[in-house]
Structure formats: C-alpha cells, structure tokens
Amino acid sequence: MNSEEIIQLKLINELKINNITVLNKSHLHKNHSHSPETGNSHFQIVIRDKEFALMNKIKAHQLVYKILQKEMSEFIHGIEINITSD
C-alpha cells in the first residue's frame, strides 16, 4: 500500500466519507530547501461531501490534521486540503 492509499483509507474510515482523493504532489517540491527527498512528503487531499463542506473551514482542516497526526510526524511534510460539496 502506498502513502496516498494509507492517507485515503484512514480519512475514509475516520470521516465516514467515501469520496476522498489523495494525490502525491511531492515532485513539485523536490528542490525546496526544507523538503525531504523521499518522494512521499507533499499531498493534496480532496474531500467531496455536502455536510463536510458546511463545516467551518478551520475546524475541518483541524480534524484532518488530527486524523493524520501519526502520518504527519512520520512522513507528511505538507498537505493541501480542498473541500467541496460536489
């Protein structure tokens, strides 16, 4: 199982939302001075859910960070979170 699948499954299981996409964007950050050269450090998370989109944006992001706390301490250097009701 790759990093994107690990992140996606954890979010699906915790949030009970099936329409979550995780994209590895690490290649876009490979020359940044503080970016690890692991190829598994930067991710875009897209959550498509009407109810979740109604949440306060800060609270929604905090919930995602809390769920991914272990992964953030182990390999995630940066995440972009997009929440949509589509």
Nearest to 41 by CA among 10, 4, 77: 77
The pTM assigned to this predicted structure is: 0.85
Nearest to 82 by CA among 48, 34, 38: 48
Structural domains of the chain sorted by starting position, each given as residue range(s) with its CATH number in brackets:
3-84 (3.30.300.90)
pLDDT at 83 exceeding the cut of 60:
yes
Write down the pLDDT at residue 66: 98
Write down the pLDDT at residue 39: 57
Write down the pLDDT at residue 11: 98
- pLDDT per position as a tens digit, 39-64: 567 899 999 999 999 999 999 999 99
Q: Residue 32: CB partners within 8 Å, gap ≥ 6?
A: none
- pLDDT per position as a tens digit, 27-43: 665 655 455 455 567 89
